[in-house]
Amino acid sequence: MAAQLRAAAARRLRSGSRSERRPPEPPAVEPEKIIKMFETYAEEEDCLGMEGLCGLCEAVGIDPETDVRLLCFCWRVGAKKPSMILREEWNEGMCRLRLDSLDKLKKFVLGDSCDPTNLEQKQFRDFFKFTFLFSREGTHRTIEKDLVADLLPIAICGRSCHEETFLKFLEASSTTRVTLDQWCSFLEFSVKVGAAPGFEGYEEDGAWPLLLDEYVEQLKADAVP
């Protein structure tokens, strides 16, 4: 009987020791602070647009025109409409990310969480698609090629050996606007097809958008002595 009591006591001690080693609960998020932060930067009652986002970038210390972390932050929050974060998206996203102060937001934006170079390929595909959708103007489903020239070097994060040659081709081509399919296909093309002019892995019947077929055709022709 004494042995059984000692064994039970030992089990209780081990159980207590395990409970003491449990990680502390994360601090509670204060939604009212998240709402106040939104209202500090939002131009309209229910919308944080580009002017407000630029103000937010200034507060955390990044350049809204050239720093990909702005796009990654908007993606992380869950923005759905071009060039804006709605109040509901902000409140839900910031609560989920547990960002209820400017200091926390700054650490988040400047840390690994908003560095898309750390993303696995599947996540990066989602992010890359988002950069196109977020950069559209109004109800347009395409974006101008001049905007692609500015956006692609930021959004691709060094994952394409075709970036420079494709943009030169695009500048000289008759194409004026780029579709979402062409944009997303460029990333897949960059993963599967080697650099110009060899284009190792490219297949003419590979069902690439016509724009990419024309890109390959043009650069192969340019490489002929």
Reported as a single tens digit per residue, the pLDDT across 168-190 is: 999 999 999 999 999 999 999 99
Residue 209: phi and psi, rounded to 5, are -55, 150
Q: What is the pLDDT of residue 31?
A: 95
Single-letter amino acid, residue 89: E
Secondary structure letter of residue 44 according to DSSP: B
Q: What is the pLDDT of residue 21?
A: 60
Q: What is the pLDDT of residue 16?
A: 52
Give CA separation, 162 vs 30, 152, 166, in Å.
Answer: 46, 11, 6
Q: What is the pLDDT of residue 11?
A: 57
Domain 31-117 matching CATH 1.10.238.10: the answer reads yes
Q: What is the pLDDT of residue 65?
A: 93
Q: Please give the Cα distance from 181 to 36 (Å, whole number).
A: 38
The pTM is what?
0.86
Cβ neighbourhood burial of 78 (10 Å; 0-12, 13-18, 19+):
middle
Q: Please give the Cα distance from 95 to 77 (Å, whole number).
A: 9
Single-letter amino acid, residue 160: S
Residue 160: phi and psi, rounded to 5, are -135, 130
Return the number of other C-beta atoms located less than 10 Å from residue 123's C-beta: 12
Identical fold at 31-117 and 119-223?
yes
Per the prediction, the chain carries an average pLDDT of 91
Structure tokens at 32: 């009212």
> 12 falls in which pLDDT band (50, 70, 90)?
low
Q: Please give the Cα distance from 45 to 128 (Å, whole number).
A: 29
pLDDT value at 13 more than 90: no
Per domain, the residue ranges of the chain are 31-117, 119-223
Average pLDDT over residues 19-48: 84
Closest CA relative to residue 53, chosen from 35, 79, 30, 32: 79
Answer with the residue of higher pLDDT: 24 or 46: 46
Percentage of the chain lying above the pLDDT 90 cut: 84
> 204 falls in which pLDDT band (50, 70, 90)?
confident
Superfamily of the domain at 119-223:
Cullin, PONY binding domain (1.10.238.200)
pLDDT value at 124 more than 90: yes
